[in-house]
Structure 1
Amino acid sequence: MLFTPGDVVPDASEPTSLSLLSKVKTQDDQAWQHLVHLYGPLVHRWCRRSNLNEADTADVFQETFRAVSAHIESFQPNKKVGSFRSWLRTIVRSKVNDHFRRVQRQPVGRGGSEAQLRMAAVVDHLEDEHDAEAETDHAEVVRRALEMIQPEFNERNWEAFIAVAIDGESATDVAERFGIQAQTVRQANYRIRRRLRVILQDLGD
């Protein structure tokens, strides 16, 4: 069966492993690094699309993740808040607006009406997330999650997973090419999908 990012959803039948979010809430440093690895590129892209230069993007990036660190313990994905990605986007919007408000308070010639126009554009851009953009952002999170877990699996199993899940080949064809049983291919596919679900569990992505 062909794998798509939308296939990756929390699986309530797998409660034995702590999700990435659960580990972050326990102040696990490695889990925090993984969270930044997964979502940092999205924050950077959202900032740059909001017309921030690289230096200002770096500042807003740090402010965003400081806010995440301060409030992550109370975060729970639901219909009102949405996924972690939606919650994060809301924080970025707030921090970008804070940035432009600071610019507005600077002496004339360094902000003023231009800052007001930029702020309006930021609100329009970050509040109006199109389905295609959301799908792209979700796919980016899944891709980086796959990068993160790849070292946990041997090369043959990983290549078999990619062939079946990403390229859409049948387990039988992949097994024949690798000289292994089709059941071995299916097991590798299942284990990697399961690991991916554990990583993304509770994030709503």
Structure 2
Amino acid sequence: MHPLATRTTTALLAALHDVRDPAWEAFDDRYRPILYGFARSWHLPEADAMDVAQESLTQFARDYREGKYQREKGRLSSWLISIARNRIVDTQRSMKRRGLLSNETAMIDVATEDHLTREWTLSRERAILDQAMALLRSNSRTSDATMQAWELVAVKGVPASEAARQTGLSVDEVYVAKNRVTKRLRTIVEDLTAAWDDEP
């Protein structure tokens, strides 16, 4: 997790004017998973989705350095969606020519703006949750048994009695762990969302 992970998007963009600033790495850490998830939502294989994310970030960096992104003309997410959409269209067309894409597969070039935005939002929410989980694990003073109990009950849906047996905690301690860790995770998600929502 990059130390600038909770920096607001506006502050992150302002720091990108210096090509040596660590904000570039933080920008990549924030948007690569979203771009990857967005590409995967259009049924691209993992390797192609990774390529789309890389090419989209490269295009963004090039355009940003050339001053092509202007905040007053639209949101950053709209610009990134447009870049990624073009990369996905190219990839889907190439896959179709090679017979690697069925006719039933959703094609991004016929998607509505609402559909694109919805897929982007879902990908963004998954990325925020993943980063929140990473922060929770790395910054937590919670015992391993408590974290394991929470993961068993809250994430995997294991009954509290079974989680207690596996972790050596009492059933009551498992419920307390679930509530405390869930509350901390919710706070981290809210903080990340607030930082990421500060989008120009």
What's the TM-score, normalizing by structure 2? Answer: 0.53
| Contact 2:12–2:27 (CA under 8 A) maintained in structure 1 | yes
C-alpha contact 1:21 1:202 (8 A) present in aligned 2:
no
> 2:20 and 2:129 mapped to 1: Cα distance?
22
- Deviates further, 129-138 or 18-27: 129-138
Contact 2:38 2:120 (C-alpha < 8 Å) held by counterparts: no
Q: Does 1:31 align with 2:23?
A: yes
Matching residue of 1:111: 99
The amino acid across from 1:95 in the alignment is R
Equivalence map 1:10-49=2 (5 Å): 19-49=11-41
Q: Any unmatched runs of 5+ in structure 2? A: 1-5, 142-181
Supply the distance in 2 between the matched residues of 1:35 and 1:200 (Cα, whole angstroms): 11
Query: Are the counterparts in 2 of residues 60 and 92 from structure 1 also a CA contact under 8 Å?
Result: yes
The answer to whether the aligner puts 1:203 opposite 2:195 as a matched pair is no
Say whether the 8 Å CA contact 2:89–2:108 is kept in structure 1: yes
C-alpha distance in 1 between matches for 2:116 and 2:91: 24
Secondary structure of the 2:107 match is helix
What is the CA–CA distance in structure 1 between the aligned matches of 2:193 and 2:40, rounded to whole Å? 29
Change (3 A) 1:93 1:60: same
Aligned twin of 1:81: 74
Aligned residue number for residue 51 of structure 2: 59
Q: Secondary structure at the match of 1:95?
A: helix
Aligned AA for 2:33? P
The Cα of 1:39 is off from its aligned counterpart by 1.2
Counterpart of 2:109 (choices 123, 128, 141) is 123
1:111 partner letter: G
Post-superposition Cα deviations, 1:58-102, rounded to whole Å, max 9, x if no partner, equal 221221111011012322323x432x1221111110011122333
For residues 63 and 134 of structure 2, the distance between their equivalents in structure 1, rounded to whole angstroms, comes to 24
CA contact (8 A) 1:24 1:32 kept: yes
Given that residues 41 and 119 in structure 2 are in contact (C-alpha distance below 8 angstroms), is that contact kept between their aligned partners in structure 1? no
Structure with the bigger RCO (C-alpha within 8 Å, sep 6+) is 1
Quick one: which amino acid aligns to residue 74 of structure 2?
V
**Distance apart, 1:53 and its partner CA:** 0.5
Secondary structure of the corresponding residue to residue 25 of structure 1: coil
The normalised TM-score by structure 1 is: 0.52
**In the TM superposition, what is the alpha-carbon distance from 1:32 to its structure 2 partner?**
1.1
Output the aligned Cα RMSD.
4.4
Q: Is the 8 A contact 2:92 2:107 kept in 1?
A: no
CA, structure 1 residues 164+65, in 2 after alignment: closer, same or farther (shift >3 Å)? Answer: closer
CA distance in 1, matches of 2:27, 2:109: 25
Identity %: 22
Aligned length: 153
Conserved? CA contact 1:19–1:200, under 8 Å: no
1:101 to 90, 93, 104: 93
Measured after TM superposition, the shift of residue 131 of structure 1 is 7.1
User: How far apart are 1:203 and its partner, in Å?
Assistant: 3.4
Q: More displaced, 60-69 or 21-30? A: 21-30
